[in-house]
Structure 1
Amino acid sequence: MAAALASTSGGAALAAEPDAAPAAVDASSDSPEVLVTARRRAENIQDVPISVQAISGETLQRKGTIDLQSLVEQTPGLNSTGGNPRNFSVTIRGIGYAPTAADGLDNAIGVYFDGVYQARPGQVLQDLVDVQSFEVLRGPQGTLFGRNAAAGALNITFNKPSFTPSYTFEASYGRYNFAQGKAILTGPITDSIAYRTVAYGTRSDPWVDTPFRPAFRNAALQKGIFAPTATDDSKTAGVGRWGVRQQFLIDAGDLKLNIAGDLNVESDSSAGYSSGGGISEIFGPGNWGINTTAAQQARVTAARNALAQLTNFGGVQNWIQTVDPRSSIINNYNHMKTKNAGVSVTTDYDFGGITLTSISAWRLWTFNPPQDSDTSPLDIYQNVAISHNDQFSQEFRLASDKHGPIEWQLGAFLYYSKLKDHYVVHQFGADVIPWYNAYNTLAGTAFAPIPLSFRSALTGVQIIEDTTVENRNAAAYGQATWHIDSALDLTGGLRYTYDRKNGSSPVDTSQLPTALPAGITNAQLLAFYNAIDAVQRNAGVAYTVPGYPAGVAATGYALGRRTSSDNVSGTASLSYRITPDVTTYVTYATGYQAGGLDLNNRALDPSAPNVKPTKTKNIEAGIKGAVFDRRLTFALAAYREKLEGFQTSISFTLPNGTIQRGATNVGDIRARGFEWSLAGNLGSGIRLTFDGNYNDGIYTRAPSLPAPAELSYNGIASIDAKGQRAPYSPKWALSVTPSWDVPIAPGAEFYSYAQYSYTTRYGTGVTQSIYTQVPNQFTLNLRAGVRLKDGQYDISLYANNATNEKNIVSQALLAAPSGAGVTAYLGRTVTYNQPARYGVTLRAKY
């Protein structure tokens, strides 16, 4: 562990574990040599003049790490956002947050598997099996990595085929019937061809109660109401995943060829996190929150009364909302299906002093999440975003060997992706008509009720937005290190990037009734569709469906949008070895995130500009090394990072005064702070690591951001957020891991560790709000076990979230049912971590 820490600080390179790297270093090793590939070559992390935190696959295996959320707890400064894979993004130092559900935007943090860029950040949400190393690269990384690493990168490498036969089998079982099995087989096929086969499966029972699902289904059946999304599932937040990865290595001397293919399938209700489930926390009488107006309270009270008393609902009668952190009020089917697959061919050819590397890859990502969008026990409306993304990438690199005073790399990167998003922007539920009538009656609104006879014609009808985005990207880069003398190194690099996007979001209303139903006027239907937020259109297109506004739409979803941009970015660093075991450095780097398109916001004004590129600048200085006969390793770095042109989706006002909701550049963010890693070998098999991050992340310019809820409830639309904390920016994040290994018999060893992580409070909204604050929270994971026959067999007991903390994984403001045209209640939707889970793991290696 000492080794990992010292080596993790390439500028605050926090090495969270002792054996953090692509090198096959035993977790109990006292050697501080930790290899990483942060600069596209295997090298000691102490020689890398950037901030890197690395965790080895061996450490991940020992800790039972199964997904990214588990890794976030171990890597201070790394955070994740979003309640499902489509909305998911990662942040480093509080920078990188982006609404990736906006199809025309990218993320400022690049994610790479074996050197292959992953177009959608949600692709990292899979079981991390047979990982060689997990590296968090802080700050701009564009001079060596494919694309969109403007503020950092996650570099994940998997173990490669070996010509030494090895067979590893692992099985875990725990609370909630958590079960996971892994099989890893590797060995030679011929003298020059080796294989590696990995297969795994993970499942867990759901743990969040959904009492209204079976009640709704039974009521609908008894009343003969068509409810296509009804289900009798009584719980949610279950897990079901499986995957395979197959590799073949051809070693022909100077030529090495690695052919890899993988398939990862998820079908569960955990919102993309193996540990979480969504809960709705609702404010109301006796629990109004802050600054709600009398009119707001009256509207919410009317909505709650309507939800609780209508006899025409297919759902539950006399419902009284309670806040229960272990119960969900949704009544409809809510299941997520994700597929992540791909093929890559990596070729290395040694010309003698120069190595040519080629990485050719295709990847597929699909996402299908039927969901209950009105967040109530009623079937008011649903929406679904069924995504399909194909991407192709080709990268070439020429790299010198390590001989001589100058090491260099040159590269070129080509990328193409096509995202198709079949977005059900509105699906009418069986209860939408009685809900509309009941709410407006209780609210005293002047309206014409819609006859219940229209229910059969409307239930299950969808309004579709079929978004298509094509992205082309090309880049050329180079980086060189000059070994001025045995102690002093100078590194510099440049990158040129060209990016082009084009996309459209045509709206299809063909499923709507094409003629006026009996007893309903066009004006009455128009008022109904507007009230339940069911009028979706394209700008410049005429819609003739009854109930839709007549004439050509002035605003709406985008058609034929395109944008292109280019950039030159670079890096420069100077590092100096004070002693053979202590290195200091200073680095300056710039980064670039391409501009984007706003395709998924129906209020889009045709005159609204496209989203402009984001640029980052980072300067950091650090020191890292090993002292006391290498029994203590350390890494410390201070940084100041600036992001200009923060891309996100908000409500804002165009220069012509038009109110707009969509994607735009909202301002600038500055992050400054320091990161550290300490790892000590205390003797007698006792080791301790202590990693941390202090981050002061604020808006330095944000002239017109949406007001937080406690102000918007009183009619304040926007604020100047300059000086406010940026989203997903806890001031302190800490991780402490003590471990103890001790021999107990010849060939037998007892081992144990505790993983404690802590973060101070932070906001998840674009502006700071009491309603989107994540409080101070911590997690404690424990494991103890015995290795037998020199590690051939391993049995351990574990307790994850041992103290049963109720931690927030993600959250968002709730204004549901938004598709019913009113704020039915105030509150938030929260994804919590799983309650305490304990179990046993068995492992055998032959």
Structure 2
Amino acid sequence: MKRVVFAGALLASASTLVAPARAWAADGTAADDADAAAREEVVVTARRRTENIKDVPISVQAISGETLQTKGTIDLQSLIDQAPGLNATGGNPRNFSVTIRGIGYAPTAADGLDNAIGVYFDGVYQARPGQVLQDLVDVQSFEVLRGPQGTLFGRNAAAGALNITFNKPSFTPSQTFEATYGRYNFAQGKAIITGPLSENIAFRTVGYITHSDPWLDTPLRRGFKEAAEAKGIYAPTATSEDKTAGTFRWGVRQQFLLETGDLRVNLSGDLNVENDSSSGFSSGGGITELFGPGNWGINTTAAQRARVTAARSALARLADFGGVQNWVPTVDPRSSITNNYNRMKTKNAGVSLTADYDFGGVTLTSISAWRHWSFDPPQDSDLTPIDIYQNMAISKSNQFSQEFRLASDSHGPIDWQVGAFLYYSKLKDHYVVHQFGADVIPWYNAYNTLAGNAFTPIPLSFRSQLTGKQIIEDTTVENRNAAVYGQATWHITDALDLTGGLRYTYDRKNGSSPVDTSQLPTSLPPGITNAQLNAFYNAIDAVQRNPGVIYNVPGYPTGAATTGYPLDIRTSNDNLSGTASLSYKITPDITAYVTYATGFQAGGLDLNNRSLNPAAPAVQPTKTKNYEAGIKASLLDRHLNLALAVYQEKLNGFQTSISYTLPDGTAQRGATNVGDIRARGFEWSVGADFGSGLRLTFDGNYNDAVYTRAPSLPAPAELSYNGIANIDAKGERAPYAPKWSLSVTPSWDYEIGPGTQFYSYAQYSYTSSYSTGVTQSIYTQVPGQSNLNLRAGVRLDEGKYDISLYANNATNEKNIISQALLAAPSGAGVTAYLGRTVNYNQPSRYGVTFRAKY
């Protein structure tokens, strides 16, 4: 009841936004001055120079740091609601990818693949998309650049870029402190201190910490732990946690700025640490939805239903075969059914040195950077309250980049920039492809016995030798990339501009994936032959090998493998891409433009999937083409600002990871080029200032993204469970591509008295339905979703103090962040149940924020 009243009060405050009113001011001019300030030009750095957004001939959405601060934006997930056409995928930081206009989706952790969307922090490329999953504190601007961006950015961004800029040190001393508290003990603290150290050196120190209690029940974990302890069974993954989806993150950023004469140098270092169970999203919580008797859901065959029914019977009698506990798969859909400790540990750190030297008419910029990213995620791979098996990928990435850029000033008939970019990264995955659980032998024996299969049981005494043992793949990927690029704008007349740019890219990757089975028991269980143990390993998907290598381990074939993970593979590509645009100022405040741009995403290596055929073709490069026309205008004395763009973007050679069939008929699972995608539509941004502190922004995107070629994609579940393996998906909608995305934000500021201002906003977002699978399936459809955030507050003493109330997800929507079909637990060649894993957004949260600035 209190939650409803609180949200209702905030909504009542926000409802005043629709009623125009005159703000009171002591001298009658303060409100007008505030309105004029609100109509200041929007400045962006999309083309690596400061310019008015309406002069940039591409589709850009820019959100200022001040706006993000007012809205209480803390991470990328909350930014997505404000940027139609921007989406994100993945259940954890390693599997994470960003999409723009439905392009960029990579449903795989493939370490040997690039990303179609580039992410930049202060001009530094972030190699892993998961690096953006941190608290975005002290941001100056957030820009979504749509379409290829290769002729100005260091690492090519084949289908778009996120350009995030942080505030720099100031020679004017200031200190900002902020504290937020809300539901589920959400607590966040921020401190920002800046000022001079000397006449030429300034500093900026930023620190933050974010905590939130978990909110998703895990009622079966404690029972598993207690049962294992009572029976004296070693269960290395057992935990007594009774909730999940909590948050704990902290970070610091330190900058030093040197300004002397024509030289400006900024040294920046940061460290961001995450240790939580939210799957990389501050708002996410994962559950498993089950299908089965009485609710099969998927259009299964009679034979499959019989197998699943036998498997569920085995789960219900697991203790009879020496298992930790019995389990009947009927659970609360609002709770997680996993049994183990599931906490994501992520570290993102780096140092960069940016130097600008003005030679007089020409500025030389150098950006030198090192970044480190690591990820350690214990994962319950069988997705049940029993302990069959576990896998994880402990990733560590180090990247080094050097960029040089020479740019003219903006005083001549031609503005130009040229640059060179060098990049090296080394990613190491300690990939536990299989860790044996305490229940794996009971599960194998129980299922096969109850199913009436002919088999030889594995002795329960073998459990002590097997539990906790791992099969490991230590993957290493090295990437070298070099590029030169340039772009120039010819101001043909005061109204007409012609822009052209070229980029040459060379990319080389090499990787290795040796499989290590040295932890496996070296002797056979009494009474079990090598063939019988090998049948057991195969049934639970625990045979992982390198082609041409003999593994002298009981239960593994004694001959050299002909399929499996390749040991060493490499690839190299080069490309010439470019852009051309023509823009015309119809009036000083109205600009029309047309743009054509091409992009390039290098080929890659498949090092994270069980490549069943080492002769499978390498992942080829992806190329994009974007045709775009738009108009940008400031009207009515800048009371109305609008931008409209129509586009058609084509992607050839979509890279992703699937199960497919090679031309010779061999089954293959791994990364490949699955086809082509065409996205076309229109996007708009409208900002209206009605005066008296009343404003409205309305951003939207209509996107029709479909496969134009996809000859052999995995069949959707409703077909694959009836024996259809692959389909031609031409004409189907692409994944993560809602047709409609909208964001509406009315806001109202009101001068209560001298130095005191009331402010409020309501931020509403909506996306229409879309699929999270590479093919459309009724079981991977995300329905149309909406979200409403509210905030109302008061600024005191000329903004020195600020206190506000907020309600995020005010209507308590249960929105899906990501989802995937599952068939788990694997083992004995069957599945225990059918269903899907779903990550939901956080429930409604409300609280209070206090900010002080000195």
User: Which TM class, normalised by the smaller chain length?
Assistant: over 0.9
Alignment check: 8 A CA contact 1:26 1:58 kept = no
Q: 1:669 aligns with which of 677, 690, 713?
A: 677
Q: 1:428 to 1:808 in 2, by over 3 A?
A: same
Alignment check: 8 A CA contact 1:313 1:378 kept = no
Which deviates more, 242-251 or 292-301? 292-301
TM-fit CA distance, 1:683 = 2.2
How big is each residue's C-alpha offset from its partner over 1:517-559, in whole Å with a ceiling of 9 and x where there is no partner? 2222111101100000000000111112110112010111121
TM-fit CA distance, 1:27 = 9.8
Alignment check: 8 A CA contact 1:595 1:612 kept = yes
- Counterpart residue number, 1:21: none
Q: 1:656 aligns with which of 629, 651, 664?
A: 664
TM-fit CA distance, 1:326 = 2.3
Alignment check: 8 A CA contact 1:98 1:106 kept = no
- Counterpart residue number, 1:464: 472
- Counterpart residue number, 2:29: none
- Counterpart residue number, 2:718: 710
The one-letter code sitting in structure 2 at the alignment partner of 1:164 is T
TM-fit CA distance, 1:26 = 8.8
- Counterpart residue number, 1:791: 799
- Counterpart residue number, 1:282: 290
Q: Give the Cα separation in 1 of the matches to 2:717 and 2:602.
A: 31
Q: Are 2:711 and 1:722 aligned?
A: no
TM-fit CA distance, 1:229 = 1.2
- Counterpart residue number, 1:422: 430
How big is each residue's C-alpha offset from its partner over 1:334-393, in whole Å with a ceiling of 9 and x where there is no partner? 111000000000000000000000000000000000111100010100001000000000
The one-letter code sitting in structure 2 at the alignment partner of 1:419 is L
Secondary structure of the structure 2 residue equivalent to 1:74: coil
Secondary structure of the structure 2 residue equivalent to 1:572: strand
The one-letter code sitting in structure 2 at the alignment partner of 1:402 is S
How big is each residue's C-alpha offset from its partner over 1:570-595, in whole Å with a ceiling of 9 and x where there is no partner? 00000000111110100000000000
Q: Give the Cα separation in 2 of the matches to 1:83 and 1:643.
A: 25
Secondary structure of the structure 1 residue equivalent to 2:311: helix
TM-fit CA distance, 1:322 = 3.3
Secondary structure of the structure 1 residue equivalent to 2:79: helix
Q: Give the Cα separation in 2 of the matches to 1:27 and 1:764.
A: 43
- Counterpart residue number, 2:705: 697
Which deviates more, 143-152 or 456-465? 143-152
Q: 1:286 to 1:316 in 2, by over 3 A?
A: farther
Q: 1:335 aligns with which of 328, 343, 348?
A: 343
- Counterpart residue number, 2:247: 239
Q: Which residues of 2 match residues 160-239 of structure 1 at below 5 A? A: 160-239=168-247
The one-letter code sitting in structure 2 at the alignment partner of 1:408 is W
TM-fit CA distance, 1:321 = 2.6
Q: Which residues of 2 match residues 506-545 of structure 1 at below 5 A? A: 506-545=514-553
Q: 1:161 to 1:527 in 2, by over 3 A?
A: same
Q: Give the Cα separation in 2 of the matches to 1:43 and 1:100.
A: 38
Q: Give the Cα separation in 2 of the matches to 1:162 and 1:667.
A: 50
Secondary structure of the structure 2 residue equivalent to 1:824: coil
Alignment check: 8 A CA contact 2:323 2:443 kept = no
Alignment check: 8 A CA contact 2:814 2:841 kept = yes
How big is each residue's C-alpha offset from its partner over 1:459-492, in whole Å with a ceiling of 9 and x where there is no partner? 0000000000000000000000000011000000
Report the count of equivalent residues.
Answer: 822
Secondary structure of the structure 2 residue equivalent to 1:66: coil
- Counterpart residue number, 2:511: 503
Q: 2:774 aligns with which of 766, 770, 774?
A: 766
Q: Are 2:51 and 1:50 aligned?
A: no
TM-fit CA distance, 1:314 = 7.8
Q: Are 2:76 and 1:76 aligned?
A: no
TM-fit CA distance, 1:29 = 2.9
Q: 1:313 to 1:263 in 2, by over 3 A?
A: farther
Secondary structure of the structure 2 residue equivalent to 1:311: helix
Secondary structure of the structure 2 residue equivalent to 1:573: strand
TM-fit CA distance, 1:213 = 1.0
TM-fit CA distance, 1:28 = 8.3
- Counterpart residue number, 1:434: 442
TM-fit CA distance, 1:651 = 1.1
Secondary structure of the structure 2 residue equivalent to 1:228: coil
Q: Give the Cα separation in 2 of the matches to 1:175 and 1:316.
A: 36
The one-letter code sitting in structure 2 at the alignment partner of 1:594 is A
Q: Are 2:134 and 1:117 aligned?
A: no
TM-fit CA distance, 1:98 = 1.3
- Counterpart residue number, 2:13: none
Q: 1:150 aligns with which of 158, 173, 177?
A: 158
The one-letter code sitting in structure 1 at the alignment partner of 2:224 is F
Q: 1:350 aligns with which of 355, 358, 380?
A: 358
TM-fit CA distance, 1:626 = 1.2
Q: Give the Cα separation in 2 of the matches to 1:819 and 1:637.
A: 52
Q: Which residues of 2 match residues 469-480 of structure 1 at below 5 A? A: 469-480=477-488
Alignment check: 8 A CA contact 1:217 1:315 kept = no
Alignment check: 8 A CA contact 1:225 1:430 kept = yes
Q: Give the Cα separation in 2 of the matches to 1:538 and 1:764.
A: 32
Q: 1:304 aligns with which of 273, 289, 312?
A: 312
Q: 2:115 aligns with which of 102, 107, 113?
A: 107
TM-fit CA distance, 1:318 = 4.8
Q: Give the Cα separation in 2 of the matches to 1:189 and 1:821.
A: 67
Secondary structure of the structure 2 residue equivalent to 1:523: helix
Q: 1:316 to 1:804 in 2, by over 3 A?
A: farther
Q: Give the Cα separation in 2 of the matches to 1:806 and 1:565.
A: 44
Q: 2:459 aligns with which of 451, 463, 470?
A: 451
How big is each residue's C-alpha offset from its partner over 1:416-449, in whole Å with a ceiling of 9 and x where there is no partner? 0000000000000000000111111222211111
The one-letter code sitting in structure 1 at the alignment partner of 2:662 is L
Q: Are 2:387 and 1:379 aligned?
A: yes
Q: 1:817 to 1:26 in 2, by over 3 A?
A: farther
The one-letter code sitting in structure 2 at the alignment partner of 1:44 is N
TM-score, normalised by the number of residues in structure 2: 0.95
The one-letter code sitting in structure 1 at the alignment partner of 2:276 is D
The one-letter code sitting in structure 2 at the alignment partner of 1:304 is R
Q: Give the Cα separation in 2 of the matches to 1:248 and 1:819.
A: 56
Alignment check: 8 A CA contact 2:35 2:689 kept = no
Alignment check: 8 A CA contact 2:325 2:386 kept = no
How big is each residue's C-alpha offset from its partner over 1:585-625, in whole Å with a ceiling of 9 and x where there is no partner? 00000000000011122234121111000000000000011
Alignment check: 8 A CA contact 1:588 1:619 kept = yes
TM-fit CA distance, 1:629 = 2.1
TM-fit CA distance, 1:220 = 0.7
- Counterpart residue number, 1:33: 41
Q: 1:739 to 1:314 in 2, by over 3 A?
A: farther
Which deviates more, 510-519 or 761-770? 510-519
Q: Give the Cα separation in 2 of the matches to 1:741 and 1:309.
A: 64
- Counterpart residue number, 1:619: 627
The one-letter code sitting in structure 2 at the alignment partner of 1:193 is I
- Counterpart residue number, 1:600: 608
- Counterpart residue number, 1:550: 558
Q: 1:89 to 1:313 in 2, by over 3 A?
A: farther
TM-fit CA distance, 1:818 = 2.6
Alignment check: 8 A CA contact 1:583 1:624 kept = yes
Q: Give the Cα separation in 1 of the matches to 2:67 and 2:566.
A: 47
Identity of aligned residues (%): 82
How big is each residue's C-alpha offset from its partner over 1:763-803, in whole Å with a ceiling of 9 and x where there is no partner? 01010111111000100000000000111100000000000
The one-letter code sitting in structure 1 at the alignment partner of 2:345 is K
Q: 1:270 to 1:312 in 2, by over 3 A?
A: farther
- Counterpart residue number, 2:97: 89
Q: 1:558 to 1:667 in 2, by over 3 A?
A: same
TM-fit CA distance, 1:99 = 3.5
Q: 2:302 aligns with which of 270, 274, 294?
A: 294
TM-score, normalised by the number of residues in structure 1: 0.96
Alignment check: 8 A CA contact 2:658 2:672 kept = yes
Which deviates more, 93-102 or 798-807? 93-102
Q: 1:43 to 1:312 in 2, by over 3 A?
A: farther
Q: Are 2:258 and 1:250 aligned?
A: yes
Secondary structure of the structure 2 residue equivalent to 1:672: strand
Structure 2 unmatched runs, 5+ = 1-32
